[in-house]
Structure 1
Amino acid sequence: MDGFPVVLTLPVQWGDQDAFGHVNNLIYLRWFESGRIAYFERAELWARAGDDFGPILASITCHFRRPVNYPDQIRVGTAVTRIGRSSLTVAHRVENREGVVVADGDSVVVWYDYRVGKPHPIGDDMRAAIARLEKTGRPD
């Protein structure tokens, strides 16, 4: 998946379907979340943060392009497209087994100080790790 340094392959679960026989819309957001968490783990963002700091989701958009049915296997691509003072914009793409885009969107994630309840600036080490991951697929 070009342009996405982190790609997960996930099976569609039988229980992901709704009464209409296709994957429920909530599941797409769960797939986005799985991609985001994998990205943060690969970039070692939590290890660079400290005990009181971490990500908090500020907003999310999802464009549903095609329905997904069981059985299938999807690929979730994740990339950071913007780094602000204390927030990241994260792009998401979901493709089905045939490589057809079934959903895309983005989320804004704020780096947050949970102790004081306010945004926390993203440090230079985190910025560098994200830049390296975006360029090489590795944080170091």
Structure 2
Amino acid sequence: MTGTIERTRREDYKRFQAISTRWMDNDVYGHVNNVVYYSWFDTAVNRLLVVNGLLDIHEGEVIGLVAETGCRYFSPTAFPDEIQAGVRVAHVGTSSVRYEIGLFRNKEDEAAAVGHFVHVYVDRETKRPVPVDDKMRGFLESLRG
């Protein structure tokens, strides 16, 4: 398989966001359903941007729209696990960013899942791409893996 996503370790990431699993995240097979992982990617990336003053989800003129996402699963997670989402940046383009996220179960050093998330930054009104501004670019570059 080309483009295979490799399992990562905690040390491969610059920033972490804590995420609590919920009872409702478990599926009939007794583990967190795969669709929940994508929600965790979204939460980890956007929380990081919001808490660092780089994204105003309610009033900002620029928003990030998801253009691509993917995930590779290595080991299951389940309620009541605590998840640490490691976030790093693989690429910053003119108007897009590729984030890479590692999801770590409890105190484990190897990721339970690894994914990516591409945002294209657009004008909120027109939905047309806009360049990543210097403040955002500087922050994103500090997260390069």
TM-score for the superposition, normalised by structure 2: 0.81
The answer to whether structure 1 residue 102 and structure 2 residue 112 are counterparts is yes
Q: Give aligned pairs, total.
A: 132
Aligned residue number for residue 21 of structure 1: 30
What's the secondary structure of 1:62's corresponding residue? Answer: strand
- Is the 1:43–1:130 contact (alpha carbons within 8 Å) kept by the matching residues of 2? no
What's the secondary structure of 2:112's corresponding residue? Answer: strand
The answer to whether structure 1 residue 74 and structure 2 residue 87 are counterparts is no
TM-score for the superposition, normalised by structure 1: 0.84
Q: How far 1:39 moved relative to its partner?
A: 1.9
The equivalences for 1:11-90 within 5 A come to 11-46=20-55, 51-90=60-99
- Sequence identity, in percent? 25
Cα distance in structure 2, aligned partners of 1:126 and 1:71: 34
When structure 1 is superposed on structure 2, of 22-31 and 7-16 the one drifting more is 7-16
- Structure 1: where are the runs of 5+ without partners? 136-140
When structure 1 is superposed on structure 2, of 99-108 and 122-131 the one drifting more is 122-131
What's the secondary structure of 1:33's corresponding residue? Answer: helix
Cα distance per residue 1:79-101 (max 9 Å; x no partner): 12211000000010001114131
Aligned residue number for residue 138 of structure 1: none
Cα distance in structure 1, aligned partners of 2:15 and 2:51: 8
